[in-house]
Every structure is written in C-alpha cells, then in structure tokens.
Amino acid sequence: YLKDLGVQTVMCGNLATLRLTKEVGLRPMGGFGLNLFNSSALEAAYNMGLKEVIISPELSGKEIKRLYAPYGQKLFAVCYGRQPLMLTRNCPVKNGIGCRGKKEYCHLTDRKGNTFPVVCENGFCEILNTKTTDLLDCLESLSVDCGCLCFTIESPEDTKEILIAYRSRKGRNAKDFTRGLFRSGVL
C-alpha cells in the first residue's frame, strides 16, 4: 500500500520496523532510536541492510569524527530538534488538564519551572526536551553526510526561519537552545 502512495524509504527506529520495512520491499533507513553509537554498531546496521543511518545524538563532535562507516554507508546527524525523552501510552497530562488522545501539544512543568512539551498522537504521548538542540554554529565541524532537521511543535513561521537559517548557514536569534552532547559527549 505504501509503495502505491510513492513511499520508497522508511525511517526505522527499532528492529521490528526494520524487519517489516524489508518484508514489504521498501528501503530502510536507520533512525536515531537504534542508538548507533560506534563503528561496530554501524557495521552491524549495514549488515542488516541499513545503508543510511542517523547516528546517536549522544555523540560528541570528536566521537563522530572517529566513526567508520562501512562500504559507503551514509551518516546523518540530528542538527535541529527537540530530543524525545520518553514515549508512553499513558498520557501524563491526562490526570491534570485532560488529554484528548489526538495530535495536540501540552506540557509538563518540573519543580524547577522547566517546561517539557508533550505531543500526543495515535494513542502515544512523547515527552520532549525542554530545550531545542541546535547545531547551526557547529555545521563546519560536523563530519557527517547530511544533517536532519526535526520539527515537532514549531509554528510555520519558526519552521520557515529555521529552514532559511540552515540553508544559508547564517545565525539566527535563537535564545534558549542546547548543543546537546556535541561538545562533551557521554564518555
């Protein structure tokens, strides 16, 4: 059915999705849910048929440079977007203000006043990081084949501004963002 709609590639965030994608004859791409953190993981992903993968957003710039992608495998990195922190079927907002179980944006506030967006869709709720990862000023030192921009709760105007900034590689007036672990890594 998806082929009839013109779909060619499926982003696979887990091994079950990878298996299904291959069974229906579509091209799989490894999503960041696979947590591809080192060269051994990249090789295993390649051997499972993943010729294009999004590497773990937990890697630092130095760790990314040390990666070896086998046989021309294409590496992608998330350059912009709110990192998902948790995926749940039980909406954490439901008991407070009431979740309607459809695509909408709510938020949770922690004891320090940080606001975490909650996006509900198709019976699942995704809790997103309070800050947006933005690597616009790090693009020159990012050694991957392609960068990914992941939009979740941005307005059409904000989306347009971000796309223009990344296309021109010129800074914008981003106030509250993080570079994630790009400079420090987890090791």
Which has the closest alpha carbon to 171: 133, 138, 129?
Answer: 138
Q: Is 25 exposed, middle or buried (0-12, 13-18, 19+ CB in 10 A)?
A: exposed
Query: What confidence tens digit (pLDDT) does each residue in 147-180 have?
Result: 999 999 999 999 999 999 999 988 776 777 888 8
pTM for the predicted model, two decimal places:
0.85
Task: Please check whether residue 31 is in contact with residue 38, taking contact to mean a CB–CB distance below 8 angstroms.
Answer: no
Query: What confidence tens digit (pLDDT) does each residue in 68-105 have?
Result: 988 889 999 999 999 999 988 887 777 666 665 555 57
**In this structure, what DSSP letter does residue 18 have?**
H
Who contacts 37 (Cβ-Cβ below 8 Å, separation ≥6)? Answer: 55, 56, 58, 59
103, 121, 171 from 126: Cα distances, Å: 11, 8, 29
Which has the closest alpha carbon to 60: 140, 179, 176?
Answer: 179
Residue 106's pLDDT band (cuts 50, 70, 90):
confident
AA letter at 183? R
pLDDT at 100: 58
Which value, in Å, is the radius of gyration of the alpha carbons in the chain? 18
pLDDT at 27: 95
Query: What confidence tens digit (pLDDT) does each residue in 6-43 have?
Result: 999 999 999 999 999 999 999 999 999 999 999 999 99
Q: Return the structure tokens found at 159.
A: 């989306």
